[in-house]
Amino acid sequence: MQRQWIFITCIMVITVGLAAGLSYVVSDVRPQLVSSTGENQPSPPSDTLVVSGNGIATADPDRVKIHLGIVTEARTSEEANSQNAQVLSNLLGRLADVGVLRNQVETSAYNIYPVYEYPEKGHAVLVGYRAEHQLMVTVASTEVGQLGIKGGAVIDLAVSTGVNQIYGIQFTVSESVTKELGNQALKNAVLDAQSKAEIMAKALNVKLSGVRTVSESGYQPYPLPYRSFVGFDAAKVSSELVPSPYKMQASVQVTYLISP
């Protein structure tokens, strides 16, 4: 009889121990957020409101970039290069007449390549060479009206000296103004997100209790894009350009904490 009680007591002890162990294991299994580094982090609270904001800042341009091209063809590469260099010399010698200094002109590309004719029958025939010199002329002015006039004067002068390609123009701003516009656009984006969050919180009958995270997608400039004038003749070139405002855009995403 005593042995039976001892056996029953052992069974009860083992049963209680297993139940306690199982209870511990079950209670310890909780969902956790694992970061990319493998460390456990608490899950983010569900009472959040995610809002995107956009901001734009504008300013009058203070410079215009004019993309010019000199294209010459001759029977030999030396002749094509020489003719091209002569047009460039004429251009550089006269740019001072419209207030453009030598350091405001830079080469953006230079190529010499063969020109072939393709008869209906037979192989391609080499007929000469083409030299192409692309230049970027930058004209600056704090007066937006004068900027258009100066830019047009550069185009007229370039045509008169033998430049036969104008790939386009671009109105832009200095680096310091670009930075200021970027900061203002970012501020406007945050204010836009705040305004949206307040409207949404009011509609949902909740309160904004703080900010959890903020991220921004960077600045995006919107200068006037290049317009192509390839194939123009001098009589069709306007003597004045019309500047448009320079724009900078920024975007943010804000996660707000909300409460009843």
Tell whether pTM > 0.75: no
Number of domain units in the chain: 1
The predicted structure's pLDDT at residue 234: 44
Asked if 230 contacts 159 with a C-beta cutoff of 8 angstroms, the reply is no
CA angle 223, 148, 186 (to 5 degrees): 25
Query: Is residue 179 domain-resident?
Result: no
CATH number at 139 reads: 3.30.70.2970
Can you give the residue range of the structural domain that contains 116? 62-171
Neighbours of 41 (CB within 10 A): 10
Query: Is residue 159 domain-resident?
Result: yes
Q: What is the pLDDT of residues 120-177, one digit of tens each?
A: 888 899 999 999 999 999 999 988 888 889 999 999 999 999 999 999 888 999 999 9
* Mean pLDDT of the region 251-258: 95
Q: Kindly list the distances between the CA atom of residue 101 and the CA atoms of 8, 92, 137, 172, in Å, as whole numbers in the listed order.
A: 106, 9, 10, 19
